[in-house]
Amino acid sequence: MVRWCWLLWLLPGALWAEAIGGYAAGCQMNARALPGSGPGYYVIRSERQRYYGQPQMIHYLQDLGHRVSRAGLPPMLVGDIAMQRGGPFAYGHRSHQTGLDADIWLRSPPANPLPRQLETIEAVDMVDHRHYILSADFRDQQRQLLALAARDQRVNRIFVHPLIKQAMCQAYGESPWLRKIRPWFGHSSHFHVRLTCPEGQSRCQPQAPVPAGTGCGAELAGWLNDKAGEITAGPRTPWRPTLPKACVGWVR
Ligand SMILES: [Zn+2]
């Protein structure tokens, strides 16, 4: 028995899942892989191997898939979560480092997609950027998907384009979960779900709580007026943050 205890003590990273550091400067231990498909969802672009997350994230996505299918909505498309050990991506977003962030596309999949189609599927932009309005592709099914995603207690915030936040405010009025839907440029073809640090994980660095209220008033108006901000939100140079000590040498 004593020998077994020694083994357990030596291998904590391999046995217990943990999110370490901040969403944009961290890593993860013992991540789980989201299976390529399940009720109500498909993983896209799996060849990038960014389908690893903390168990809380994997369960959240699977639960959301069940809710999507029960609501009669088309299956959702799950894009990047995190790399197996987390850490910064070589390209793309700055966050997604601790297995607690995931991107869900707003377009529907083709019926019975082949794995090859899921690798190459194109994003559909829900915003007509020239006229600064939502496109005809943004419909009630997108609103319902976002509402289902945001109602879950595990969700800390969800990032969407300001015009999508506006559409959610118009559709759902004073719903308390609206505060979790946060405007952010660059989120017009997908939304980004961020979960709260799992209970008891002291090395997971939380983000400041979202402000009180629905965020549908002055704050949203500020975002909607900042069209210049949208134009400058283009591709960024690779993000190389200073990682917590526990992540150095663990991530690539
Ligand atoms: Zn994202």
Task: Please give all residues whose CB falls under 5 A of ion ligand 1, grouped by chain where several chains appear.
Answer: 93, 103, 192
Helices in 19-104 by DSSP H: which ranges? Answer: 55-70
Ligand 1 center–CA 80 separation, angstroms: 7
Token digits of residue 68: 């999507």
Predicted confidence (pLDDT) at residue 235 exceeds the cutoff of 80: no
pLDDT (tens digit per residue) in 135-177: 999 999 999 999 999 999 999 999 999 999 999 999 999 899 9
Ligand 1 center–CA 37 separation, angstroms: 20
pLDDT at residue 15, as a whole number:
66
**Residue pair 164/191 in contact by the 8 Å Cβ criterion:** yes
Across all residues in the chain, what is the average pLDDT?
Answer: 91
The predicted model gives 177-206 an average pLDDT of 96
Predicted confidence (pLDDT) at residue 11 exceeds the cutoff of 60: no
Ligand 1 center–CA 171 separation, angstroms: 24
pLDDT at residue 13, as a whole number:
46
Predicted confidence (pLDDT) at residue 196 exceeds the cutoff of 70: yes
pLDDT (tens digit per residue) in 92-102: 788 999 999 99
Ligand 1 center–CA 192 separation, angstroms: 5
pLDDT at residue 34, as a whole number:
98
Predicted confidence (pLDDT) at residue 19 exceeds the cutoff of 80: yes
pLDDT at residue 227, as a whole number:
76
Ligand 1 center–CA 158 separation, angstroms: 9
Q: What domains are defined for the chain? A: 18-233 (3.30.1380.10)
**Per mean pLDDT, which range of 108-117, 168-177, 228-237 is the poorest?**
228-237
Residue position matching structure tokens 């983000």: 207
pLDDT confidence of 229, banded at 50, 70, 90? Answer: confident
For residue 244, is it left (φ>0), alpha (ψ between -120 and 50) or beta?
beta
Ligand 1 center–CA 8 separation, angstroms: 34
Predicted confidence (pLDDT) at residue 122 exceeds the cutoff of 60: yes
Q: DSSP assignment of 95-161, as one string?
A: ---SS-EEEEESSPPPSS--HHHHHHPPP---EETTTTEE-TT--HHHHHHHHHHHHSTTEEEEEE-
Token digits of residue 46: 């799996």
Ligand 1 center–CA 92 separation, angstroms: 9
Q: Is 243 helix (H, G, I), strand (E, B) or coil?
A: coil
Q: Is the model more confident about 13 or about 80?
A: 80
Q: Is 188 helix (H, G, I), strand (E, B) or coil?
A: coil
Question: Of all residues in the chain, what percent carry a pLDDT higher than 90?
Answer: 83
The predicted model gives 63-73 an average pLDDT of 98
With vertex at residue 98, the alpha carbon angle to CA 95 and CA 103, rounded to the nearest 5 degrees, is 55
**Residue pair 244/20 in contact by the 8 Å Cβ criterion:** yes
**Residue pair 160/183 in contact by the 8 Å Cβ criterion:** yes
Predicted confidence (pLDDT) at residue 207 exceeds the cutoff of 60: yes
Predicted confidence (pLDDT) at residue 5 exceeds the cutoff of 60: no
Residue 104, strand partner residues? 78, 191
